[in-house]
Amino acid sequence: MSRKDIYQDKLQIDYFSDSYLKFEEDFYRYSAMDVPLTFLTDDILREMAMSQKNYFKLNKHNSKDGRDHYFYFKVEFSKTEVGVRRFEYESHSIT
């Protein structure tokens, strides 16, 4: 079974929430990548779930300012759906 299959339909983010819109705004402010965030979101969520972390790092090689950026999320497990995790963007920091 592939990593994609393990987390299929188990990782969720509300693309229409204020928190996601803030995440999108912050990501585009600092990212130098040409790939739209929409194409990266599933991979970002999957990597956070696999590493059991509530953040992901945009490394300095992919940022506009040459610094590492961390994007933090609140992760909640669904009380009604087994194995489902919901991600809500909280904040950003720079190192």
Number of domains in the chain: 1
Amino acid, res. 6: I
What is the rounded distance in angstroms from the CA atom of residue 71 to the CA atom of residue 87? 12
Closest of 40, 39, 42, 93 to residue 68, by C-alpha:
93
pLDDT level of residue 4 (50, 70, 90 thresholds):
low
Tell me: pLDDT of 8 over 90: no
Distances in Å between the Cα of 76 and the Cα atoms of 23, 27, 82 are 17, 22, 12
Whether the CB-CB separation of 28 and 20 falls below 8 Å is answered with no
Question: Whole-model pTM?
Answer: 0.87
Tell me: pLDDT of 1 over 90: no
Tell me: pLDDT of 3 over 70: no
Task: List the helix and strand counts (H, then E) for the chain.
Answer: 3, 4
- pLDDT per residue as tens digits for the range 16-40: 999 999 999 999 999 999 999 999 9
**Average pLDDT of span 49-64:** 96
Domain of 20?
3-94
Tell me: pLDDT of 42 over 60: yes
pLDDT level of residue 78 (50, 70, 90 thresholds):
confident
